Amino acid sequence: MPSFYLLPFIFLPEAWALGLLLLSALGLGMPHGAADLLVARRLGLPLLPYLALYLGLAGLLLALLLHQPALALLLFLGMALFHWGRVEGKGALGYLRAGTILLFPFLFHQEAIQPFLQAFSGGFGLPPWVAGASWGFLLLLALRERPRARALGDTLLLALVAALAHPYAALGGYFLLQHSLDSLRLVGVRGREWLWVYGGTLGGIVLALLLYPRLQDPLAAYMGAIFALTLPHLLTMELWLGRLRPRGQSPAPGR
């Protein structure tokens, strides 16, 4: 989806931006990950061993969050950057786009994300110079591939949104209208298959509710559940992407 459609998010107040991000648990956001059950069926994976491995990986990440929250935040950012960039399907430009959404809050909105960081990672966050240097590195990688002017311009527009909008609005807009939609298109959920998707979504919501008494922040609890489920989701989607395309070819959404 063109970044032009994210421009209205610049004007979204903080309370509405937070509400949008939390509501993504029900619409597109968490459901796109819950489609993993459907992907496993289509790949012909044995369901019980798959679920055991899936939940085991989620449990390991959950333990990391509860005992080493700063390390968990770094891993969360790294996994999201890799996974979002892969689903974008635009080569290095896709990783730049993902990095823009993930890194700009530490560059431009540190005060706004401090309550979340306090609850999720004990106040730990990326220093602005690390976020800026990382984004600059991703920019250089993208420019080396000489992206088309239209694609580069759209990415710069995304950067404008991420710089000016409240970080929850930019994250919510990208998560819902870019990443989740692209993922669901790649999977191609149809008809009654949505029952599998929303069945898995319910499990993710229950996990977030279980985390709330420990984290005492609704966004941190939601992001904690997303973090725990990201690694098994990422690995499931890598299997699916490998089936969809020959080795070395970009996945469909970014073409």
Q: What is the pLDDT of residues 44-57, one digit of tens each?
A: 999 999 999 999 99
Q: How far apart are CA 91 and CA 180, in angstroms?
A: 18
CA angle 106, 111, 97 (to 5 degrees): 30
Q: What is the pLDDT of residues 79-119, one digit of tens each?
A: 999 999 999 989 999 999 999 999 999 999 999 999 999 99
| Residue 145 DSSP label | T
Residue type, 163: A
Q: What is the pLDDT of residues 195-234, one digit of tens each?
A: 878 888 888 899 999 999 999 999 999 999 999 999 999 9
Tokens linked to 37: 């059950």
Number of domains in the chain: 1
Q: Are 144 and 46 spatial neighbours (Cβ–Cβ below 8 Å)?
A: no
Q: Which domain holds residue 184?
A: 3-254
Alpha-helical segments (H) within the chain: 14-23, 29-34, 36-42, 47-67, 69-88, 92-108, 110-121, 128-144, 149-164, 167-174, 181-187, 193-215, 218-244
CA angle 106, 85, 210 (to 5 degrees): 65
